[in-house]
Amino acid sequence: MKVCKFGGTSVASAEQIMKVAGIISSDRSRRIVVVSAPGKRYPEDRKVTDMLIRLADAALDNKDTEPLLAEVVGRFSLIAEGLGIGGEFVSTVEEDLRSRLAADRPHAGRFMDLMKAAGEDNNARLIAAYLNQIGIEAVYKSPKEAGLIVEGPAGDGMADTESYVRLSKLKEETRVIVFPGFFGYTKDGVLCTFGRGGSDITGAILAASTGADMYENFTDVDGVFAANPNVVDNPALIGKMTYREMRELAYNGFTVLHDESLMPAFNHSVPVNIKNTNNPAAPGTLIVKERECKTQPVIGIAADSGFSTLYVDKYLMNREMGFGRRLLGILEDEQISFEHTPTGIDNMSVIIRNKFLTPEKEERILKRCFDELKVDDAHISSDYSMIVLVGETMRYSKGLAARAAMALAGSGTNIEMINQGSSEVSIVFGVKKEDEKKALRAVYNEFFVPAHAHTF
Ligand code: ASP
């Protein structure tokens, strides 16, 4: 039995949904189908989820919601029309949106979640209706009815462990289940979404709880590429990789999969296959627990911008017990999580994602460094990028960091920081943002284009 998840571009239009139906009917083991909200049809298009966020914002600001509501309804109406689904469906979408807008709003975040989830919820109903219309027996399943309980802050929920037991019952259903991705309900029955891109998580949870043989994640590319195809020309397609490798790449900038979504599949050993809705015959990328990897120590290279460095310097820092703890404590007080902490004898840097910083937070942090930690110098510099080499067998291979450093030097990139994680699944090079693209190309060529490789 397979659980399939179709991302936003796979369900963005009537034509795409017809392809989805073809994929489902070509393999009857595809029994549970998780769907995203309609995504972009072309690069400048707007995702339904983004439209819904604007709609919710307008409602929260007491602005006119009618044009934004009409935009969402219009998008569903176009798809329904293309699929030959009657106008009543469009009226139910409109009614659904109006009732969400009219709901009590004791908490802005929860209201936002309720609105955001409308994209997946209505799309799942639409796709179930279409499958039935073309003779594939299908049923829409609500996360509430199925028992997907989500805990945590609005917009960033996590499924509770008991959900897995309740959701395992889904495998008893004989019809194709169409399940909206991205959200569940708290124990008190309040809707809560996962983070953006969270339909991947729903798919992985259903695959894990039903003990599926495979979790197929359909997107709009043939699989996972070894580097960003917008930067590197024709990067290699990764045939097979481990969960840990995929998580490292996703966390560090690969957008093909939500970085947390693999955990449920990993915990229950369900293999994941990333496939292309527009080219379903291609084998895609398989993600498994272990792989044989004798020849290719680096499986992929991620590059991501948007990092800052907090640098502190204090003479005789090496003698001061607890300095690092107190510095990280200041960040914890500001609810900032950190990425790396390279240290010297008398100095320490903390690499932070820019999204956690605001000018006010920066000011408070620096003030506390001077006032409480009595540092000689403290400053925050932004505009860093991280180039991350990922591969399970890097730990057995000699000279990889040297080769990457040579490649970076050859491209004229200054290395600001190096961090080899203790897991040795990744080696991170911090570079200036303006060098990111050339650095990525240079490191990619070093490891994937034999003519460029250095030997030691
Ligand atoms: N529609 C949601 C988003 O755009 C969730 C998803 O597509 O996975 O983030």
CB-based burial of residue 290 (10 Å sphere; 0-12 exposed, 13-18 middle, 19+ buried)?
exposed
Packing angle of the helix pair 87-101, 118-133 (nearest 10 deg) = 160
Mean pLDDT across the stretch 208-214?
97
Is 173 annotated for ligand binding?
Answer: no
Q: Which residues line ligand 1 (CB under 6 A)?
A: 7-8, 36-37, 47, 49, 119, 181-182, 196-200
Is 92 annotated for ligand binding?
Answer: no
Strand ranges (DSSP E) for 240-319?
A: 240-242, 272-276, 285-288, 300-313
Q: Are strands 176-180 and 150-151 parallel, antiparallel or unpaired?
A: unpaired
**Mutation choice for ligand 1 from 9, 10, 47, 156, CB with most ligand atoms inside 8 A:** 47
Per residue in 370-421, pLDDT (tens digit) is: 999 999 999 999 999 999 999 988 888 888 999 999 999 999 999 999 998 7
**Ordered domains of the chain (ranges, CATH):** 2-220 (3.40.1160.10), 300-451 (3.30.2130.10)
Which of 35-44, 131-140, 251-260, 264-273 shows the lowest per-residue confidence on average (mean pLDDT)? 251-260
| pLDDT value of position 87 | 83
C-alpha of residue 317 to centroid of ligand 1, in Å: 46
**290 touches 284 (CB < 8 A):** no
| pLDDT value of position 451 | 84
Mean pLDDT across the stretch 357-362?
96
Per residue in 310-347, pLDDT (tens digit) is: 999 999 999 999 999 999 999 999 999 999 999 999 99
| pLDDT value of position 320 | 95
pTM across the whole model: 0.90
* Atom of ligand 1 at shortest range from CA of 193: 5
| pLDDT value of position 393 | 84
C-alpha of residue 373 to centroid of ligand 1, in Å: 42
* Atom of ligand 1 at shortest range from CA of 198: 8
C-alpha of residue 54 to centroid of ligand 1, in Å: 15
* Atom of ligand 1 at shortest range from CA of 47: 4
- Among residues of the chain, what percentage have pLDDT more than 70? 99
Per residue in 423-454, pLDDT (tens digit) is: 679 999 999 999 999 999 999 999 999 888 88
Average pLDDT, the chain: 95
Packing angle of the helix pair 118-133, 66-83 (nearest 10 deg) = 20
- Among residues of the chain, what percentage have pLDDT more than 90? 89
Per residue in 123-180, pLDDT (tens digit) is: 999 999 999 999 999 999 999 999 999 999 999 999 999 999 999 999 999 999 999 9
Does the pLDDT of residue 280 top 70, yes or no?
Answer: yes
C-alpha of residue 38 to centroid of ligand 1, in Å: 9
Is 220 annotated for ligand binding?
Answer: yes
Closest Cα to atom 5 of ligand 1:
197
**Mutation choice for ligand 1 from 72, 112, 199, CB with most ligand atoms inside 8 A:** 199
Nearest to 301 by CA among 449, 135, 93, 126: 449
> Can you say whether residue 152 is alpha, beta or left, with left for phi > 0 and alpha for psi between -120 and 50 degrees?
left
Is 39 annotated for ligand binding?
Answer: no
| pLDDT value of position 294 | 67
Nearest to 417 by CA among 358, 348, 336: 348
| pLDDT value of position 108 | 95
* Atom of ligand 1 at shortest range from CA of 119: 1
Does the CA dihedral 148-200-8-250 come out positive or negative?
positive
Closest Cα to atom 2 of ligand 1:
197
Is 255 annotated for ligand binding?
Answer: no
Nearest to 388 by CA among 338, 447, 347, 348: 447
C-alpha of residue 181 to centroid of ligand 1, in Å: 8
Per residue in 195-210, pLDDT (tens digit) is: 999 999 999 999 999 9
| pLDDT value of position 420 | 85
